A and B are shown apart, each in its own frame.
Chain A
Amino acid sequence: MTATALLLLLPPIAIFALASRRRLTAVMSMGLLSLILAAVYLLARAPDVAITEAAIGAALVTLIYLLAIRRSGRLSVVCSEVPQLFFREGKRFDGLEHEILAGFAHELGLDLVVSILPHSELREALGRGEAEIAAGGIIPGEQSRSVLCTTGFLPTAVFRITGEGHIPHSHSDVLDYMSDTLDAIRSRRLASCDLDLARFIPVSRLDLTGYTVQRLEGREASYSFLVASDRPDLRDRLTTHIESLKESGELERMIARYLR
């Protein structure tokens, strides 16, 4: 009777584990499932199997996963690739934003770990707790509750390119990855989109016949970083770091190095 009850508990926990958004909940739910499975083995007159499953499934496997996805001792950043600001050079990262964040991580004594995500998913990832900082040519738009924003470090402008015969509009879904945007422009699939300065520079090097380019006035903004909302201390420290870079003139030198 108890065995049946425990067995019936297993599929809902499994569905919950595999459908969860956060990796941590998935791993802990699978650990719980192993524990209940060990109890089922005990009731099925298999004590050896029960002991082994409890020791390995609930303890060792769960801990292996936790060690793999732990974030202690590291500063986790999600970013979308943007030329000059945050891009990959072979195996390593480079760019203005990367250098700012690397210096910041070094100051805190942490490792810098970078994950690349589509531009539209950056805020969501911060809200889910997957990372602490978001970067990648972000112009803070409307303020939302789930993310905090540091001071701007680099003023920029917004350009809009429009294909022939298309109505200019701002939204475009190929903006998620820079390589996809460039491909779309080369093959003329792109109708219209808004690009900030750093993204506009490589686009302007392409052959843009058939596209009209206009610089939007009144849309001046500044690049900044986003920080998860449960870490206001991190936001303050990062802001202080950027301010000190501005004061010492180091920021000017870095901008000159990357954007001239």
Chain B
Amino acid sequence: MEMINGVTVAVVLFGIGLLGLIIRRDLVIKLLALGLVDSSVTLALVSLDARQDALTPIWQGAGLAYVDPLPHALVLAAIVINFALLALALVFVMLLVERYHTTDSHRIAHEIGRETEE
């Protein structure tokens, strides 16, 4: 079971999220898939140096092995910011739905194409 580590699962989740983003037509599901892609990236970063035999990066004394705290610092802010950006994306989806009265991305593209033709 050496191959099952965080990075592998993160790549798999990234693939699933990307596939969902491309294939599903509903705008809300597309956003959820995008959120999954974000989560997979944070998982990959955190599990770069995740070891069972090292300690949490709280200073307990010199000479001990700690998990690398640098990815944690990057990921911490990234999670909070992803939430704010996801909220903004959801706002734009809501505005789109209010305009075209449907959450089907194909139908919205069709309507926009029809509008630009006129």
Contact = CB atoms under 8 A, between A and B. Distances in A.
Interface of A: 3-4, 7-8, 10-11, 14-15, 17-19, 23, 26-27, 30, 33-34, 37, 40-41, 44-49, 52-53, 56-57, 60-61, 64-65, 68-69, 88, 91, 114-117, 179
Interface string B1-41: 10011100100110011011000101011001101100100
Contact of A37 (B32, B43, B86): B43
Given A49-B76, A60-B83, A61-B86, A30 B43 contact: no
A117 B97 CA distance: 12
Given A53-B42, A61-B83, A116-B102, A7 B94 contact: no
A4 B4 CA distance: 7
Contacts of B97: 115
Contacts, number: 121
Consensus secondary structure, chain A interface: helix
B32 A56 contact: no
Given A33-B36, A40-B6, A116-B107, 10 more contacts: A7-B6, A7-B9, A10-B13, A18-B17, A18-B20, A27-B32, A69-B28, A115-B103, A116-B100, A179-B114
A15 B23 CA distance: 12
Interface string B45-68: 011001110111100000000010
Contacts of A27: 28, 32
A48 B90 contact: no
B87 A64 contact: yes
Given A4-B1, A61-B35, A23 B26 contact: yes
B112 interface: no
